[in-house]
Homo-oligomer: A and B are copies of this chain.
Amino acid sequence: MAKRVTGPEIEKLIQLLAKVPGLGPRSARRAALHLIKKKEQLLGPLGHAMDEAYHKVKICSCCGNVDTIDPCTVCSDVQRDQAVIIVVEDVSDLWALERAGAMNTAYHVLGGTLSPLDGVGPEDLNIKGLIDRVSVGGIRELIIAVNATVEGQATAHYITDRLTDLGVKITRLAHGVPVGGELDYLDEGTLTAALRARTAI
């Protein structure tokens, strides 16, 4: 803003809101005004929720999930099959797979993918924690559910190499046509994979 038109506290709020992914400088101003208009219903409760999250949030020492307890809700859920671990890149992937609701298993969050160009090596990811979990025993299957990107696949290969001697079954997500997807819009790689992995009707 060229000249100050409001208090420094409100400008600070706008500056910080602009750093939230999905909001830019313009939508941060709009968001701040909306929050102020809904002071009792939104601004107060949201500030309180952020404060609570700030003080209570923990990274699960077992799987790397974000929670307010450690071990996390997923790791301490006795109704889950804790002998099957789905390995994901990020917490958001864990949450996405849980929304699908197809499995009722444990998870392991790597915290990224191997990327030599960005200086991300195996020691920067939560791979040692995974090896430790598998080494303890009692794990029946590892489902590698990393993204189907070059880095994701390289990471999947590295993990498979490291764990192959431990005698655990390692699987990966199927490649194929997304449900609801149109063939015309899919790339050649996906179509080739879908043809190769065709199933009997």
Contact = CB atoms under 8 A, between A and B. Distances in A.
- Copies assembled: 2
Interface residues of A, number: 63
B51 A47 contact: yes
Q: Would you call the interface of chain A mostly helix, strand, loop, or mixed?
A: helix
Contacts of A2: 98-99, 101
B4 A49 contact: no
Given A22-B30, A33-B92, A10 B53 contact: yes
Nearest to A69: B7
A56 interface: yes
A22 B19 contact: no
Interface string A14-58: 001101111100010111111110110011111111111110110
Interface of A: 1-10, 12-13, 16-17, 19-23, 27, 29-36, 38-39, 42-54, 56-57, 65-69, 72-74, 77, 90-92, 94-95, 98-99, 101, 104
